Chains A and B, each alone.
Chain A
Amino acid sequence: MSSVADSPSILSAVAAWSAVAPSRISHHGHDQCELTRLWFMAIDASLSGVYPTDPPTWIRESFDWGPRRWPLHWCEIRRRDSLDCGALAALSCEVFRARGQRCVPVQLIQSFSEHDAAHWRRRWQGAKLPTNWIRGPLVYHEACGVLTEDPAIRIWDSTDNVWIEPDQMPGYAATVAIRVSQAGMERMSVAFGRRLLPIGTWTVLEH
């Protein structure tokens, strides 16, 4: 079965998700939220790699992937909880920022298969949460963009614990569209491999 979405459905998905803002973790302003936030940063200081650009793989290793109700506050995060891609990406961005890295949320559209989508839809419905992140074989996804000096961007997929490859091949699980968040960005575009991604607008990737 083919898992490559056609161009019209990608453009339709882009239109549908254009108003979606990247996820962020909220803070109640009280001690419980601060306890978890500080605990999170201290854990990262203990578990992170040698370099500040080393990805925080420990986050995904500490949390399962699954449905999560939003808005999400720091005090609601417990180790071994389920977190969705938005929460995992937002936490990765928090960690990179705490290490002094410049980073921005990145929104993605990825292509899977209709039967994968059916499983996810049932799972989210079981948790009584919306499934509007799924459109046919396409899914809305979030990641964390780490800006380098070039200026270029590396995109950390904190759900799959991999750097997204700029020269990935088309097909199953491929990223078909990317939007780099405008938040705090002075530039109009960033380099992603050999591509130039405009800031704040979706780019459909031609493979």
Chain B
Amino acid sequence: MGEIGHPRGSTAPPEHRIYLSGLWSGSSPSPGVGTARSIRLAYPNAWLVGVDYSNQVSGLHWPDFDDIWLQRPWDELNLDEYRDQIRHVLDSGALWISGLDLETVWLARAFRSHPNLLVSPGEALARLRKPPHEAAQRLRFESPPSIPLTEPEWALHAFCRRNGWQVWLKGPYYEARRVDGWSSFKSARHELSQTWSDLAGLYLEAHVSGHEESVALCSIRGDMLASVHMSKRVLTPEGKTWTGRIRPTAQALDDALRALVRDLRWTGGAEIEFVRDGEDRMWLLEWNPRFPAWIHGASVCGANLPARLVEAASGVPAVVGRPAAAEFTRVVLEIPTRSGYPSAPLGTATPAAFVPHGKHPSGMPLLARRLRPEREPPAAPPAELPASILEDLGRIDVGAHESPSWLFLEETAAAQFAYAAEVARTASRPNLKVGIAYSIKTNPDRRVLALARRHGMAAEAISQLEASRALADGFRQEALILNGPGKWWPQGDARVWGGFVFCDSVREMNALDFSACLNGLPSVVGPRLRPPNVASRFGIDVSDQSVLGQLAGAIRALPPHIRVGIQFHIASSAIGTDRWWRVFAGTLEWARALQHLGSRDVDCLDIGGGWFPDDLRSVLGPALESVGQRATQALPHLRTLTVEIGKGLVQPCFALLVRVLEVRGSDQEVDEITVDGSIAELPEFDSYPHRILWFDEAAGRWLPAGAGRARILGRLCMEDDILATHVRLPKGLRPGTALVVCDAGAYDRSMAYEFGRG
């Protein structure tokens, strides 16, 4: 590069000098190389200058660039100086086409406008930030559901459940990580928040199944010059285009784009990425403020958008090429490197760094840090707590309790059990009794069992010990359900039978000896099914048709006085509520098949497994009546529908009281605290979010901890004893301050263990 704006060796007139940034040409490329190739097709004598921010960027060596203007990384650049240098370039008559989203944002801020800077106004870029809901509305696309990561964890977990744990965690400008469970969410959140320095701008987006397509467009000051449609035919492992088919954009979409672009006064290239689902609906994923990396694929197919943009900006007519095909593909090429730009040696990563070197060679995360707003966005309010929990906590004399200790939230528990009993009663019909069963293993606390019994619920036992315990606590045999692979353990001289027995294998079902019982025969016997496509170690795998035949035979062989039941248990909190309904629908088909093949009517359907308490109230409870209707439509002889619930009932009913041992941080902000509780009392802490409150002694009340940057560390000398991250803790915390960890009444309580107590 010679004097700025006058590159060495350039004999091209100023209007033929074009600066193109974003030259990375890897598996997730930037568009600079493709844009250069397209312009070269139409302007053989143009002087093309490649711009990037690292000498690792492979596109620096692409021969269509007449010169390279290599910049220092974004954290080294003096942005005022860089702006002045670019202004000099632009004032000399050269054009600038940015291929980097964040560079586009910065240029729009730095210049407001310049006729040679082919970048859209900052207001337009702000309106189309991810997720681009406004654009979706204007283009009559669907918007995938999304939620910002600054929302409380409680809401994020609910979002993931609603969307079947088929969710993407997306960065503000680049990057997306697939989330299929709470631990993968936490891992992705950690990674992307490190990359982008913050949670602000990160969001969760529901996955949409379908085929990915894109529209690229170019526009100058709101006048859309052209658009082109591309459907992906071959993808890279990252989902990037490798082969694509080019078509004209559908007229209706082209018209809608034209109107939107006019309103936005859009200048430059853009890529609209969307998914077409099986119902032919289009879901807008992203609006990228630059040409796509595949833009040269469109050019070789006859739609040279970069040339159209340059033509409109410079007034110099483009050479019109002939389309070579309707499809394009990429190939891998080796080219000689450019003289004067030796590659840098591979950096030596620190042993702990998993992030591959050169992942963001154009340094976008560095620029993101410099573009962060000076004022942080307001924090989202903490997750709401049911009023009963606050009332329960309000009655507790904090000083009278040691810590860590369990708090039984009586009103909350009473409300939970009363609700479940009521929805079951309401859903019952003269020909169908809908009942609730409480899973003893979830929390065998006698107060909980008493509530279940008082509300007429059955008890589900997974061992002879639990069965005996239930009978001793007053449950009648008819209200006892035996389930699981160890229901006959420990083996004694005679077995305790439940009124309902669900077998985990065909062998178990065939081996049932109805003579060896202490307390009367069961009235219902049947299989626990393992539906196909659901990962579970339990139940009978009916995806093998010979097993289905054997199971039908076992059902046919049951004594005539024993009624047939079918059970399935899959945790809806793990697979998501929508998918749970599909598993339920599939189970009805299996039950119908078994009813026909076994020549026995199905009398009882036992469904359940792992409902999150909020979903019990918002999803299952309101739907229970229709569940019964669907079940009786499929199985006309059905008389009993049992819904087994464990954590859905009892998770909110206990909290763990802990106290602060140490507060770390500055006078302005608490970074982390250690408390006397630990993962030994909260073994499920990593499985789902727990709402946390702290006791404000001055005010004498419990206050929720919102979302923030602090951590709560457990007392154990164990690396994974971290009870919470991304929480906001008040400055007033001091050693001895009490906190309660809510939502700890299910497996946290029953699976808590002794550790580190000598």
Decide if A46 is an interface residue (CB 8 Å cutoff).
Answer: yes
Q: How far is the CA of A42 from the CA of B548 in the complex (A)?
A: 11
Q: At the interface, yes or no: B544 with Cβ under 8 Å from chain A? A: yes
Contact B593 A38 (CB under 8 A): yes
B585 in the interface (beta carbon within 8 A)? yes
Question: Are B533's CB and A46's CB within 8 A?
Answer: yes
For the residues of B in contact with A, the DSSP-based class is helix
Collect the chain A residues with CB atoms within 8 Å of residue B544's CB. Answer: 79
3 nearest A-B residue pairs (beta carbon): A46-B586, A45-B589, A38-B593
B568-589 interface (Cβ within 8 A of A): 578, 582-583, 585-589
B582: which of A31, A39, A50 is its contact (CB, 8 Å)? A50
Q: Does A127 contact B (CB under 8 A)?
A: no
Q: Which of B209, B582, B586 contacts A42 (CB 8 A)?
A: B586
Given contacts A42-B542, A51-B279, A169-B326, is CB(A35)–CB(B589) below 8 Å?
Answer: no
- Is B549 close to A, CB under 8 A? yes
Interface size range of chain B in the complex:
20 to 34
Q: Which of A41, A45, A51, A79 has the most CB of B within 10 A?
A: A45
CB within 8 Å: A-B pair count: 65
**Nearest-Cβ distance from residue B219 to partner chain A, whole angstroms:** 28
Task: Answer yes or no: A49 CB below 8 A from chain B CBs.
Answer: yes
Contact A46 B327 (CB under 8 A): no
Contact status B589-A46, CB under 8 Å? yes
Asked if A113 lies at the interface with its beta carbon under 8 angstroms from chain B, I say: no
B597 contacts partner chain A, Cβ-Cβ < 8 Å: yes
Q: Are A51 and B586 in contact (CB under 8 A)?
A: no
**Pairwise interchain contact A34-B589, C-beta atoms closer than 8 A:** no
With A34-B597, A36-B545, A79-B544 in contact, is A46–B326 under 8 Å at CB? no
Q: Which single member of A41, A51, A53, A169 contacts B589 (CB below 8 Å)?
A: A41
How does the 8 Å CB contact mask read for B512-544 relative to A, with 1 for contact and 0 for none? Answer: 000000000000000000011110000000111
A85 to chain B, nearest CB (A): 22
Q: Is there contact, CB below 8 Å, between A43 and B327?
A: no
**In the complex, what's the smallest C-beta–C-beta distance from B45 to chain A, in angstroms?**
35
Residues of B within 8 A of A34 (CB): 596-597
B590: interface (CB < 8 Å): yes
**Pick from A31, A45, A55: contact of B586, CB under 8 Å:** A45
A50 CA to B585 CA in the complex, in Å? 11
Q: How near does chain B come to A131, taking the closest CB pair, in angstroms?
A: 31
Q: Complex formed: what's the CA distance from A126 to B549 in Å?
A: 33
A189 and B583 alpha carbons, distance in the complex (Å) = 38
Q: Does A47 lie at the interface of the complex (its beta carbon under 8 Å from any beta carbon of B)?
A: yes
Option from A43, A46, A51, A169 in Cβ contact (under 8 Å) with B583: A46
The answer to whether A54 has its CB under 8 Å from any CB of chain B is yes
In this assembly, does A78 line the interface, its C-beta being within 8 Å of a C-beta of chain B? yes
Contacts of A54 in B (CB 8 A): 278
User: With A and B bound together, what is the CA distance between A127 and B588 in angstroms?
Assistant: 40
Q: Report yes or no: B593 in contact with A42, Cβ–Cβ below 8 A.
A: yes
B278 touches A53 (CB 8 A): yes
B49 within 8 A of A: no
In the bound complex, residues from chain B placing their C-beta under 8 Å from that of A169 are: 326-327
Q: Do A42 and B278 have beta carbons less than 8 Å apart?
A: no
- The verdict on A41 contacting B278 (CB below 8 Å), with A46-B532, A46-B533, A47-B532 known, is no
A38:B543 contact, CB within 8 angstroms: no
Q: Please give me the residue from chain B that is nearest to A54 by CB atom.
A: B278
**Contacts A34-B597, A35-B548, A35-B549: A43 and B278 contacting too (C-beta < 8 A)?**
no
Q: With a CB–CB cut-off of 8 A, which chain A residues contact B531?
A: 46
- Taken together as a complex, chains A and B put the C-alpha atoms of A54 and B578 apart, in Å, by 16
What is the distance, in angstroms, from B132's C-beta to the closest C-beta of chain A? 24
Minimum CB distance partner of A167 in chain B: B247
Q: With a CB–CB cut-off of 8 A, which chain B residues contact A41?
A: 589, 593
- Whole-angstrom distance from the CB of A78 to the nearest CB of chain B? 7
- From B279, B543, B578, A43 is in contact (CB under 8 Å) with B543
Of chain B, the residue at the smallest CB distance from A78 is: B545
12 pairs, A vs B, C-beta closer than 8 Å = A36-B545, A38-B597, A39-B545, A41-B593, A42-B548, A45-B585, A46-B533, A47-B532, A50-B278, A50-B582, A53-B278, A79-B545
Report the bound CA distance from A29 to B590 in whole Å: 20
A38 CA / B548 CA spacing, docked (Å): 10
* Contact A53:B545 (CB < 8 A) given known A35-B552, A47-B532: no
In chain A, positions 29-74 with a C-beta closer than 8 Å to chain B are 31, 34-36, 38-39, 41-43, 45-47, 49-51, 53-55
A99 to chain B, nearest CB (A): 11
B468 vs chain A, min Cβ distance (A): 36
Is the CB–CB distance between B590 and A49 below 8 Å?
A: no
Given A42-B589, A46-B583, A47-B533, A35:B597 Cβ within 8 A: yes
Instruction: Return B633 CB to nearest CB of chain A, in Å.
Output: 14
| A39 / chain B contacts, CB cutoff of 8 Å | 542, 545, 548, 593
Q: Which of A31, A39, A42, A50 has the most CB of B within 10 A?
A: A42
Indicate the member of A35, A55, A79 with the most B CB atoms within 10 Å: A35
Interface centre among B549, B582, B589 (most CB of A within 10 A): B589
A61 to chain B: closest CB distance in Å? Answer: 11
CA–CA, A41 to B585, complex, Å?
A: 12
B404 nearest CB across to chain A (Å): 44
A42-B586, A42-B590, A47-B533 known; 11 new pairs, CB 8 Å cut-off, are A35-B597, A39-B593, A41-B589, A46-B532, A46-B533, A47-B532, A49-B209, A51-B278, A51-B279, A79-B544, A79-B545
For B278, give the chain A residue with the smallest CB separation. A54
Residues of A within 8 A of B548 (CB): 35, 39, 42
List of B residues within 8 angstroms of A45 by Cβ: 585-586, 588-590
B241–chain A nearest beta-carbon distance, Å: 18
Q: Report B150 CB to chain A, min CB distance, Å.
A: 30
**What is the minimal beta-carbon distance from B689 to any residue of chain A, in angstroms?**
27
Interface string of B266-279 (1 = CB under 8 A from A): 00000000000011
Bound Cα distance from A20 to B586, whole angstroms: 36
Least distance between B249 CB and chain A CB atoms (Å): 15
Chain A residues with Cβ below 8 Å from B209 are 49-50
Contact with B along A71-110 (1 / 0, CB 8 A): 0000000110000000000000000000000000000000
User: Which of chain A's residues have a CB closer than 8 A to the CB of B543?
Assistant: 43, 46, 79
Contacts of B585 in A (CB 8 A): 45
Nearest chain B CB to A169 CB, angstrom units: 6
Q: Which residues of A contact B586 (CB under 8 A)?
A: 42, 45-47
